[in-house]
Chains A and B, each alone.
Chain A
Amino acid sequence: MARITAGVATSHVPAIGAAIDQGKTRDPYWAPLFDGYDFSKRWIAAAKPDVIFLVYNDHASAFSLDIVPTFAIGCADRFEPADEGWGPRPVPNVIGAPELASHIAQSVIESDFDLTIINSMKVDHGLTVPLSLMFGQPAAWPCKVIPLAVNVVLYPPPSGNRCYQLGKAIRRAVASFDQDLNVQIWGTGGMSHQLQGPRAGLINTVFDQQYLDRLILNPAELATMPHLQYMREAGSEGIELVMWLIMRGALDERVVVRHRFYHVPASNTAVGHLILENPT
Chain B
Amino acid sequence: MALQKPYADIPGTTIFDADQARRGYHLNMFCMSLMKPDNREAFKADERRYLDRWPMTEEQKQAVLARDYNRMIAAGGNIYYLAKIFSCDGKSFQFAAASMTGMTQEAYAQMMLSGGRAPEGLPDEQDNDHG
Alpha-carbon distance between A65 and B21 when the two chains are bound, in angstroms: 8
Q: Which residues of B contact A236 (CB under 8 A)?
A: 10, 13-15
Q: Mark A9-52, 1 if CB is under 8 A from B, else 0.
A: 00000110010000000000000000000000000000000000
A91 to chain B, nearest CB (A): 17
Contact partner, B100, options A198, A205, A264, Cβ 8 Å? A198
A15 to chain B, nearest CB (A): 6
B86 to chain A, nearest CB (A): 8
Does B97 lie within 8 Å of A198, measured CB to CB? no
Alpha-carbon distance between A110 and B62 when the two chains are bound, in angstroms: 49
Within 8 A of A (CB), among B3-46: 6-7, 10-18, 21, 25, 28-29, 31-32, 34-37, 40
Does B16 lie within 8 Å of A154, measured CB to CB? yes
Does A201 lie within 8 Å of B101, measured CB to CB? yes
Within 8 A of A (CB), among B80-113: 80-81, 83-88, 90, 92-94, 96-98, 100-102, 108, 111-113
Check A85/B35 contact, CB under 8 A, given A196-B13, A198-B123: yes
Is A82's beta carbon under 8 Å from chain B? yes
Q: Mark A198-236, 1 if CB is under 8 A from B, else 0.
A: 111111110100000000000000000001100111011
Does B94 lie within 8 Å of A153, measured CB to CB? no
Q: Which residues of A contact B115 (CB under 8 A)?
A: 203, 205, 264-265
B71 to chain A, nearest CB (A): 11
Q: Which residues of A contact B84 (CB under 8 A)?
A: 60, 84-85
Is A103's beta carbon under 8 Å from chain B? no
Check A268/B112 contact, CB under 8 A, given A202-B119, A207-B119, A231-B7: yes
Does B78 lie within 8 Å of A199, measured CB to CB? no
Does B17 lie within 8 Å of A154, measured CB to CB? yes
Does B7 lie within 8 Å of A265, measured CB to CB? no
Q: Which residues of B contact A201 (CB under 8 A)?
A: 97-98, 101, 108, 111-112, 116-117
Of all chain B residues, which has the CB nearest A66? B29
Does B17 lie within 8 Å of A155, measured CB to CB? yes
B83 to chain A, nearest CB (A): 7
Is A61's beta carbon under 8 Å from chain B? yes
Alpha-carbon distance between A45 and B28 when the two chains are bound, in angstroms: 41
Q: Can you list 11 pairs linking A and B with CB atoms under 8 Å apart?
A: A85-B35, A153-B16, A153-B80, A156-B17, A194-B97, A198-B126, A201-B97, A203-B115, A203-B116, A231-B7, A265-B112
Binding site for A on B (CB under 8 A): 6-7, 10-18, 21, 25, 28-29, 31-32, 34-37, 40, 69-70, 73, 78-81, 83-88, 90, 92-94, 96-98, 100-102, 108, 111-113, 115-119, 121-123, 126, 130
The 5 A-B pairs at the shortest CB distance, nearest first, are namely A203-B116, A85-B87, A199-B12, A198-B12, A198-B126
